[in-house]
Amino acid sequence: MSLQVYINGKFYAKEDAKVSVYDHGLLYGDGVFEGIRCYSGNVFRLKEHLERLYESARAIMLQIPISPEKLAEDVYETLRRNQFTDAYIRLVVTRGAGSLGLDPNKTSDPQVIIITDKIALYPAEYYDKGLELITASTIRNHPAALSPRIKSLNYLNNIMAKLEGLQAGCVEALMLNHKGEVAECTGDNIFIVRKGRLVTPPIDAGILEGVTRNAVIELAEAAGIGCDQTALTRHDIFIADECFLTGTAAEVIPVVKLDKRPIGAGVVGPITTQLIAAFKKLVHKA
Catalytic residue positions, numbered: 151
Q: Which residues contact 80 (CB under 8 A, 6 or more apart)?
A: none
Say if residues 270 and 244 touch (Cβ distance below 8 Å).
Answer: no
Compute φ and ψ for 218, nearest 5 degrees.
-65, -45
- DSSP for the chain reads -PPEEEETTEEEEGGG----TTBHHHHH--EEEEEEEEETTEETTHHHHHHHHHHHHHHTT---SS-HHHHHHHHHHHHHHTT-SSEEEEEEEE--B--SSS-GGG-B---EEEEEE----S-HHHHHH-EEEEE-SSPPPPTTTS-TTS-BS--HHHHHHHHHHHHTT-SEEEEE-TTS-EEEESSSEEEEEETTEEEE--GGGT----HHHHHHHHHHHHTT--EEE----HHHHHT-SEEEEEETTTEEEEEEEETTEEPTTSS--HHHHHHHHHHHHHHH--
151 by Cβ neighbours in 10 Å (0-12 / 13-18 / 19+) ranks as buried
